[in-house]
Chain A
Amino acid sequence: MLRMIASRLAVGVFVLWGATTLMFVLIRIAPGDPATILLGSDATPEEIAALRERLGLDENPLVQYLAYFAQLVRLDFGESFRSNQPAMEVVLDRLPATIQLTLAATLIAVIIGLALGLLASRRPDGVVDRIVSTIAILFQGMPTFWVGIMLILVFALTLRVLPSAGSGSFAHVVLPAVTLALPFTAIVARLSRATLTEAMREPYIQTALSKGLSRGEALRGHALRNALGPVITIVGLQMGTLLGGAVVVENVFAWPGLGTLIVQSVSYRDYSVVQAAVLLIAVIVLALNLVADIVNAALDPRIRVGGRA
């Protein structure tokens, strides 16, 4: 188990290196002078020249790259030219809001998705199963930002029960979290239904039934635990996609998180911030993947305790 964590960490470090390199390359090949890009169009020629010097833009690319890397290792992401704050500070400032939204959506998706999956797997290919499948298809096909807008139309503008934008109260979280959760709920529902029906076919379910358990009891008491592993792993792996979705949803609801920050910064060409934000997201995704793998291993005693599987 420790070996697995160690190897995952090693891969993670490599991936981070790759990610930072990718950002480096992207900014360098973007049209325009990187220094101008990083400083903004109303920087003075002296500032540009100074930054060019600092970034070593006239030196050969390899030297530039090493300098860039040295900066990053010191966790220096440059400054946001819009606010003159260190870029990472600006980013970290917005992080909690995004985490809040993402966690809320995850909670909704997992709870409702599992419930739907349990319902569907009680009688595979039954009426409920078909209904759940249809719901899942709908949730996954509808564009998230459009669903958000429609929800605003219904709940904020027509029924007037929820706010349409901003943050600050519990009511503000509801619509964005639900919007973000929808496709994820579908994934969790489908996945848990699949793993549960498969677990129910295992021989030990026959044993449970022969002990007098009802199908529902066997499902909850035996199949659920064994089916959770894959579900949790996939949930962890899907968090990346969820974060991506959060970026879009935040813009629909003017939610003050990383998503709105990234889009604003991209359109203002505030690339230090963009770079910092994207790398932070990458780190989070990698960490979540690692946690998902660990949890999965922990839940399977065959891996945890060792011995003959």
Chain B
Amino acid sequence: MTTTIPLPVQDPRPWRRSLAGVSGRLGGALAVLPLIVVGIYVLVAIVGPMLIAYDPVATNLAERLRPPGSVLADGSTAILGTDGTGRDVFAQVVYGARTSMIIGAATVVICAAFGMLVGLAAGYWGGAVDIVLSRVIDVLIAFPGIVLAIVVAGLFERGLLVVIVALSLSGWVSFARLTRASTLSIKERDWVAAARVMGVSTISIQARHIAPFLVAPVAALLALEFGLIVLGEAGLSFLGIGLPPSTVSWGQTIAAGKEYLSTAWWISAFPGMALALLVIMVGLLGDQLNSRYQRGGAR
């Protein structure tokens, strides 16, 4: 027998192994970050307007286009500067948060509810119901969501309800599809078949045996759609469609800041950052929910 020469063949990058260890530990702390940030936004949206006074109509031309951190004549500090008519940018960011959160939450709930009903119906009953509903969906997705929203928002009087409806028109579709697909697969499971055999009523089956398992995938989609809706509302406001000027919106502020871009970049920059941060964090939250759903599965 020849003498043995132990020559281990390991991952030739030892730094990679230790990196994996570090990010594993970091992952734990970073993982709650999205939830915390989104929570802060919710808090600001609820509490902010109570603490900060802001009147969109009141202009203060003496203090217009002041950079962030400037101290104003009345002693207060414009943390994020002032805009073209002297209004405080920070206040607009706070009030804009409220607008976005309200519209986002309301719209996404409506879309989820309606979409799930449609998807459940299509998936459970199949056949003609499914075909008809699927075709309706096909018609709606032929239009890019934002285009449809622009048209609808533009057709009607400006207002909160109009915006919500305009954004909902395309928003419910992804919920319907997801619910339909999930229903189709859950419907074949043993416990549903057993319930049917036992003569449980259809409504009951849907509510008690199928619906609970739809929660997980829909939750992940909720986060994603919320982000898209908030972006959509900002886009509409940016274009000057939808919300009346008296309602503060990030999109509006960004639009107003565009003409002062070279001299007062902060007007457009900060609301945009707030918007981007919210959407990114909500998206991350959705990813987390998604992977938890994948791992746990519908038990």
A residues with a Cβ closer than 8 A to B are 11, 14-16, 18-19, 22, 26-27, 30-31, 125-127, 130, 137-138, 140-146, 149-150, 152-153, 157, 240-241, 243-245, 247-248, 251-252, 262-263, 266-267, 269, 271, 274, 278, 281-282, 285-286
The answer, yes or no, to whether B47 is at the interface (CB within 8 Å) is no
* Interface stretch (choices B89-97, B110-118, B233-241): B233-241
- State in angstroms the CA–CA spacing of A281 and B276 once bound together: 28
Chain A nearest CB, measured from B58 CB (Å): 26
A241 to B: closest C-beta gap in Å: 6
The complex places the Cα of A143 from the Cα of B139 at a distance, in Å, of 26
Q: How far is the CB of A18 from chain B (nearest CB, A)?
A: 3
Contact residues on B (Cβ < 8 Å of other chain), bracket: 35 or more
**Residue from A143, A153, A278 whose CB has the most chain B CB atoms within 10 Å:** A143
13 contacts across the A-B interface (CB closer than 8 A): A15-B135, A18-B135, A19-B143, A127-B19, A137-B284, A142-B279, A143-B276, A146-B254, A149-B254, A262-B151, A263-B239, A266-B154, A281-B144
A281 touches which of B16, B20, B147, B251 (Cβ 8 Å): B147
A281→B148 CA distance, assembly (Å): 11
- Known interface pairs A30-B155, A126-B16, A266-B241; A285-B150 also in contact (CB < 8 Å): no
Q: Which residues of B contact A281 (CB under 8 A)?
A: 143-144, 147
Distance, CA A138 to CA B143, complexed state (A): 26
CB pair A143–B144 under 8 Å, yes or no, is no
Alpha-carbon distance between A266 and B276 when the two chains are bound, in angstroms: 27
Of A138, A145, A266, A271, which contacts B254 at CB under 8 A? A145
| Residue ranges of B at the interface with A (Cβ–Cβ < 8 Å) | 16, 19-20, 23, 135-136, 138-139, 141-148, 150-152, 154-157, 227, 231, 234-235, 238-241, 251, 254, 257-258, 261-262, 265, 268-269, 272, 275-277, 279-280, 283-284
CB distance from B278 to the nearest CB of A (A): 8
Give which listed residue, A137, A142, A248, contacts B239 with CB less than 8 A: A248
Secondary structure dominating the interface of A: helix
CB proximity of A301 to chain B, nearest CB, Å: 28
Report yes or no: B227 in contact with A19, Cβ–Cβ below 8 A.
Answer: no
Partner of A267, one of B19, B154, B238: B154
Complex contact A282–B142 (CB within 8 A): yes
The answer on a CB contact under 8 Å between B155 and A149 is no
Closest residue on chain B to residue A285 by CB atoms: B142
**Quick one: which of A127, A146, A245 has the most chain B CB within 10 A?**
A146
Q: Which residue of A lies closest to B170 (CB)?
A: A244
Contact A263 B150, beta carbon cutoff 8 Å: yes
- In the complex, chain A residues whose CB is within 8 Å of the CB of B146: 244-245, 247-248
**Which of chain B's residues have a CB closer than 8 A to the CB of A267?**
154, 240-241
Question: Are B283 and A26 in touch, CB under 8 angstroms?
Answer: no
A240 CB contact (under 8 Å) in B23, B138, B144, B234: B144
* Minimum CB distance partner of B152 in chain A: A26
**CA distance in complex: A16, B257 (Å):** 40
Q: 5 closest Cβ contacts across the A-B interface?
A: A244-B144, A18-B139, A141-B280, A266-B154, A146-B272
Interchain CA distance A263-B148 in the complex, whole Å: 12
If A18-B136, A157-B261 touch, whether A149 touches B272 (CB-CB below 8 Å) is yes
In this complex, what residue of B is CB-closest to A17? B139
Residues on A with C-beta less than 8 A from B254 are 145-146, 149
B135, A285: Cβ atoms closer than 8 Å: no
Contacts of B227 in A (CB 8 A): 141
Among A22, A31, A127, A145, contact of B139 (Cβ-Cβ < 8 Å): A22
Measured CA separation A31–B251 after assembly (Å)? 26
Q: In the docked arrangement, what's the CA distance between A248 and B258, Å?
A: 14
Question: Are B284's CB and A31's CB within 8 A?
Answer: no
Whether A263 pairs with B241 at a CB distance below 8 angstroms is yes
Q: Which residue of B lies closest to A242 (CB)?
A: B144
